[in-house]
Structure 1
Amino acid sequence: MLKVYGDIYSGNCYKLKLLMTQLGLPHAWVHMDILKKETRTAEFLARNPNGRVPVLELPGGVFLPESNAILHYLAEGSPLLPRDRLEHAQVLQWMFFEQYSHEPYIATSRYIIRYLGRPPEQEARLLERVAGGRAALAVMEQHLQRHDWFVGGTYTIADIALYAYSHVAHEGGFDLAPYPALRAWLARVASQPGYAGMDEFDAAIQAG
């Protein structure tokens, strides 16, 4: 069975749980507490020397880190990853955008506010991150004004990758009111078969 090491309230981990649930992939979930530095132990670093979650453990003891690499691996051959060469590349385009221009700003802002409690010494860093996050949301809004989905007119892992931190952006101080197309897209993602939110997944994980 596949095994995921992660924290369901991390957007990078949540995106895997959402995909695996929607694809009906049986898996075990191993909770890792980042604040307790459980990803810095020698045991975990043997799985991912970069010391980050999520990590996917494959049969045979092979470990695959990096959330979007895992999304791509798991979605191969499914309707959530287009076979058309250009559309496949466009999925990767948006996933690279998510990790380079979106996640570093929105996820970091959320971490400073939700997990660190917005300490005064982080305020300058937070303001910088918020500016970058708003720029990323504006790029998404512009695209979604013309398209229901990010690639090929259908729901793909590009949507999953971008949804993960976008739907909790308010926890990082982002007001989504100026982005109506983005908000409509969030609702479309939440209406997909097999969808569940972070709290629902957490309850299921706690229940075993």
Structure 2
Amino acid sequence: MLTLYDYLPSQNGWKVRQLLAHIGLPYRSEFVAIFDGEGQSAEYRRINPTGTVPAIRLDDGRTLAESNAILAFLAEGTPYLPGDAFGRAKVLQWLSFEQERVESTIGALRHWRLTGKLARRPPELVAMKHDAALRALAILDAEFATRAFAAGDAYTIADIALFAYAAHAEQAGCALQPFAHFRGWLARVRAQPGHLATTHAYAIDPHSTRELPRAPLPAEVLAHEVDIAVAGAG
């Protein structure tokens, strides 16, 4: 049986849970306490080198990380990923947009606001993220004025990926009132059979107010940086 390595408040984890619900694939969950450092354990980093969630393990032991890569793999041969080359490329276009323009802005701001970390961030960074988030929403609003879903007329994994964080833009401090076409798309996604409406608050994890632990740099990398610094000082 497929194993999903998950963290319930993660909307990246939600993406995979949503697709699994759509396709009816049975799986077991293993929850990773990422803010308590569990993601940086040697054991888990053999599953996902970045120490983040989600990741999956197949029956044969192979593992795959990164939410959108997992979506593309699991959607193979289903209605949620087009069979033609151009249709697949359009889905990949919006999966890339989601990671670069949505998760990195709306996702970051939402996380900072809900876990009390916003005040720890430089105001200039917060303002830059907020501006970029509004620009991403404006792009999506213009796109949804021309079609029902991200990659065309059919609901795909591109919509699952975009919805994960964009649907919670108000929690990131972004007003949705100006984006009527975007709000219409949200309603269409929520109307999909099997839509998972439940989200999990960061408050269920007492460690979520901490910064995400990072693995230390390898000793040889640090030694190289010291050598460069010494040479520069000379």
TM-score strictly above 0.5: yes
Partners of 1:179 and 1:121 in 2: CA distance: 27
SS of aligned partner of 1:119: helix
Amino acid corresponding to residue 41 of structure 1 in structure 2: S
Contact 2:34 2:51 in 1 (8 A): no
Contact 1:112 1:122 in 2 (8 A): no
Indicate the residue corresponding to 1:99 in structure 2.
99
Partners of 1:121 and 1:52 in 2: CA distance: 21
Larger Rg: 2
Partners of 2:107 and 2:122 in 1: CA distance: 14
Indicate the residue corresponding to 1:169 in structure 2.
169
Partners of 2:159 and 2:189 in 1: CA distance: 8
Indicate the residue corresponding to 1:158 in structure 2.
158
Partners of 1:167 and 1:147 in 2: CA distance: 18
SS of aligned partner of 1:50: coil
Which string of whole-angstrom CA distances, capped at 9 and with x for unpartnered residues, describes residues 34-86 of structure 1? 22122111221121111111101111221100111000000000011111221
After TM superposition, list the pairs within 5 Å mapping 1:40-59 onto structure 2: 40-59=40-59
Partners of 1:156 and 1:100 in 2: CA distance: 19
Q: Structure 1 residues 81, 198: closer, same or farther in 2, change over 3 A? A: same
Contact 1:9 1:198 in 2 (8 A): no
Question: Which stretch shows the higher mean deviation, 29-38 or 135-144?
Answer: 29-38
Indicate the residue corresponding to 1:205 in structure 2.
none
Partners of 1:8 and 1:80 in 2: CA distance: 23
Indicate the residue corresponding to 1:132 in structure 2.
132
Gaps spanning 5+ residues in structure 2: where?
201-234
Q: Which runs of 4+ in 1 moved over 4 A?
A: none
After TM superposition, list the pairs within 5 Å mapping 1:1-12 onto structure 2: 1-12=1-12
Question: Which stretch shows the higher mean deviation, 116-125 or 152-161?
Answer: 116-125
**1:117 CA drift (Å):** 4.3
Indicate the residue corresponding to 1:22 in structure 2.
22
Indicate the residue corresponding to 1:181 in structure 2.
181
**1:111 CA drift (Å):** 1.3
Amino acid corresponding to residue 167 of structure 2 in structure 1: H
Partners of 1:102 and 1:121 in 2: CA distance: 19
Equivalent residues, number: 201
SS of aligned partner of 2:8: coil
Indicate the residue corresponding to 1:35 in structure 2.
35
Contact 2:101 2:136 in 1 (8 A): yes
Partners of 2:121 and 2:81 in 1: CA distance: 42
Partners of 1:26 and 1:123 in 2: CA distance: 44
SS of aligned partner of 1:5: strand
Alignment root-mean-square deviation, CA: 1.6
Indicate the residue corresponding to 2:197 in structure 1.
197
**Percent of aligned pairs with the same residue?**
37
SS of aligned partner of 2:176: coil
Indicate the residue corresponding to 2:142 in structure 1.
142
Partners of 1:164 and 1:37 in 2: CA distance: 24
Partners of 1:38 and 1:169 in 2: CA distance: 28
Indicate the residue corresponding to 1:206 in structure 2.
none
Contact 1:3 1:56 in 2 (8 A): yes
Gaps spanning 5+ residues in structure 1: where?
201-208
TM-score normalised by the chain length of structure 2: 0.82
**1:164 CA drift (Å):** 0.4
Question: Which stretch shows the higher mean deviation, 115-124 or 64-73?
Answer: 115-124
Partners of 1:85 and 1:26 in 2: CA distance: 28
